[in-house]
């Protein structure tokens, strides 16, 4: 009997000490900051294409130079509202390469498309933030003809989210 009573009291004190404490400060929802591609103005008309055999390849550059120093958690995304017009034909998957000087590193591959009924979001990849982040977008196939074209605006296209 004594052992049962002691066990019950001990487990009650553990439960009481493990109870959450209240704080007078309300929790704030965390929001990400968003950077848009560098351009003279919007829209930025992306037109990535190549002919059969991978010849006449026309890649497009993508640059972010507006991520503040000291930012963290940079994530390259593509967002399209429902029914956003994207022209594509043939091999339409694109490779996105992170570029630095003369070097390129594959950063991600995506087939850009929008849904007719809901917004679409593609997360390409994440990286350490820098005040200058540059990419090259080209058709992923080395042999097939393909094309992807769309207008990048503040409401649709590439963004860099950070500080999430």
DSSP letters for 74-111: EEEEEEE-TT---EEEES-EEEEEEEETTEEEEEEEEE
Q: Identify whether 18 is part of a domain.
A: no
Structural domain includes residue 74: yes
Question: Average pLDDT of each block of 10 consecutive residues along the chain (164 residues)?
Answer: 45 44 54 86 88 94 94 96 96 95 94 96 96 96 96 93 95
Instruction: Return the residue matching tokens 């120093």.
Output: 69
Query: Does a structural domain hold residue 146?
Result: yes
Q: Domain for residue 23, yes or no?
A: no
Q: 70 lies in a domain? A: yes
Q: In 10 A of CB 4, how many CB atoms?
A: 8
User: Tokens 């630095």, residue?
Assistant: 100
Write out the residue range of the structural domain in which residue 142 sits. Answer: 32-162
Establish if 107 belongs to a structural domain: yes
Q: What is the CATH number of the domain that holds 95?
A: 2.60.120
| Number of structural domains in the chain | 1
Quote the pLDDT of residue 132: 94
């Amino acid at each position: 009997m004594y052992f049962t009573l002691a066990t019950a009291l001990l487990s009650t004190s553990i439960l009481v000490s493990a109870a959450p404490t209240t704080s007078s400060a309300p929790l704030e929802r965390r929001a990400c900051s968003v950077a848009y591609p560098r351009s003279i103005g919007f829209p930025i008309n992306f037109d990535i294409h190549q002919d059969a055999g991978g010849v006449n390849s026309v890649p497009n550059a993508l640059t972010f130079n507006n991520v503040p120093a000291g930012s963290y958690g940079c994530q390259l995304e593509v967002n399209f509202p429902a029914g956003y017009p994207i022209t594509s034909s043939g091999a339409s998957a694109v490779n996105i390469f992170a570029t630095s000087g003369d070097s390129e590193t594959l950063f991600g591959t995506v087939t850009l498309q929008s849904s007719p009924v809901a917004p679409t979001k593609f997360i390409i990849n994440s990286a350490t933030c820098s005040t200058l982040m540059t990419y090259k977008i080209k058709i992923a196939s080395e042999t097939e003809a393909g094309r992807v074209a769309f207008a990048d605006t503040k409401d649709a296209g590439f963004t860099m989210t950070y500080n999430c």
